[in-house]
Amino acid sequence: MVLFLLMLLLFIALMLLFVSAGPLIFLIIFPAVFLILVLLLPRRFMAANIMMGSMLLLITLKPVVDLFWDTYLAGFKLLHYYSLVMYLYAVFLLVLRRVRLSDFRFYHLALISGVYYTVLAVLYFAAKGNFISTMEYFLRTTYGIPFFFLMGSYLENEGRLERFLWLTVVMLVPIALMGLYFLITGSAEGFQITGAGEKFWRLKGLYHDASVFGLKMVPALVASWYLALRKYRWMNVLVLVLALLIFYTYTRALWIFLSIFFGLWAIYRRNYWIIVILLFLIFLKWDFIVERFTYAGITLESPYGFGGRVIRWRYGLEMFYSAPVFSKLFGLFVAGIVIPGGYIHNLYLQWLLDGGLIGFGINATIFAVFLLSVMRMASKGSARAFLALHYMLFLLVTGFAASYMNVPNVQVYLWSFLGMVFYSPLKLVHGSKGFEAGDSNGLWQHHHESHPHRKEG
């Protein structure tokens, strides 16, 4: 506890230094303090549960902190400070615990992505000269990389994974209850109104946008489903409540994700009655669902298609086509080109604009490799892989209409789950199969404690 308090005081002091003395002094002093801590802290603290516990709290508290999304301090959003603390603390623990990157399958892909976007952040700063926007760009593009290695190595134990998921649910249930309260009372404060004649009252809770509220419910939904699948059957009730809340956000991409989620759940558990109920509910709400999907058009021909997103997509593509070769290869933003509004509402176009053709290729390769590998492992009965698969599908499906990969806590959950699945030291060190055949519940395990060369962190 003493160490944790000292770390907390250190981060507070560094943030105050950043605000009062400016980013240059911060960049000079922080690495020095960081190295001193790594060198001086005794080895026994590396296994301290309080350090990983504080990391888990930082991750799971993030959706709660997001309620203060419009709070600024010295030009930075409060959320940016919080994200920076999470990122630096993750890197700190990664070094302190001496996590071996080579213990992860496909670790080269994660490193290539991190290095590439770090270089682009430097080019971005050279083009714009704005430290605040550069830091935001850096976090947005590289945020999940340290969590792939840190959380992946920590969650290799089933007990640790279960505690993490429980903590996720505990932190997000109050937000869910808040949404349920607004849904039952019909209070206008908790809804976002869209459509002509105030047609669609979309549940948003206290967040600024209904889709943002839906984003907070997705990790709770996936975590609750996994816990229910393992042994806590009563969690199925929470799964259904969370699905109801996500439905009432009236976010079309999340509707599609919910349909795939329950379809896969039914197939995986061979509970085909779930599909029957899902189809029945769709039938009851069919006219409204069609109206919601066709509102403002769903055609690429109309600039107002997809709720006006087609205009932004076309504008982004036109800027890409007219950009110089350097920007096409490495991304528009690193050359100082800025799209008005910034947010392009498409994950794949965002990859292209952020990282250019090279960045798009890197991201597409990472997702393709991880998706195919996770699908193959899930088909063999790995519930852990199925957990990661659900979250990957959430991003890939919703990516056609939004770029949720830019949201820090979305990246954390995705990369943490992927790291957990692909952490296999035995395969590399001993030449074994890594994740051994599953137990009766279909969970693959690899007995990390039998690793003779690894000091527990």
Q: What are the residue ranges spanned by the domains of the chain?
A: 1-98
| 376 Cβ contact partners less than 8 Å away, ≥ 6 residues apart | none
Q: Amino acid identity of 289?
A: I
SS3 145: helix
Name which of 156, 161, 147 is nearest 423 in CA terms. Answer: 156
pLDDT score at 346: 87
Question: How far is 271 from 180, CA to CA, in rounded Å?
Answer: 27
Tokens of 282: 């769709």
Share of the chain above pLDDT 90, in %: 25
Q: Note the pLDDT tens digit of each residue in 402-434.
A: 888 888 889 999 999 999 999 976 543 333 343
Contact 377, 442 (CB under 8 A): no
pLDDT score at 373: 93
Question: How far is 161 from 102, CA to CA, in rounded Å?
Answer: 21
**Helices 286-294 + 273-284 axis angle, to 10:** 70
pLDDT score at 224: 93
The whole-model pTM stands at 0.80
pLDDT score at 252: 84
Q: Amino acid identity of 211?
A: S
CA–CA distance from 181 to each of 57, 64, 206, 244, 338 (Å)? 25, 17, 11, 13, 40
pLDDT score at 341: 60
pLDDT-flagged residues of the chain (< 50)? 1, 3-4, 23-24, 26-27, 45-46, 427-457
Q: Note the pLDDT tens digit of each residue in 128-173.
A: 888 888 888 888 899 999 999 999 999 988 888 998 999 899 888 8
Q: Note the pLDDT tens digit of each residue in 236-273.
A: 899 999 999 999 998 888 888 988 888 887 877 777 77
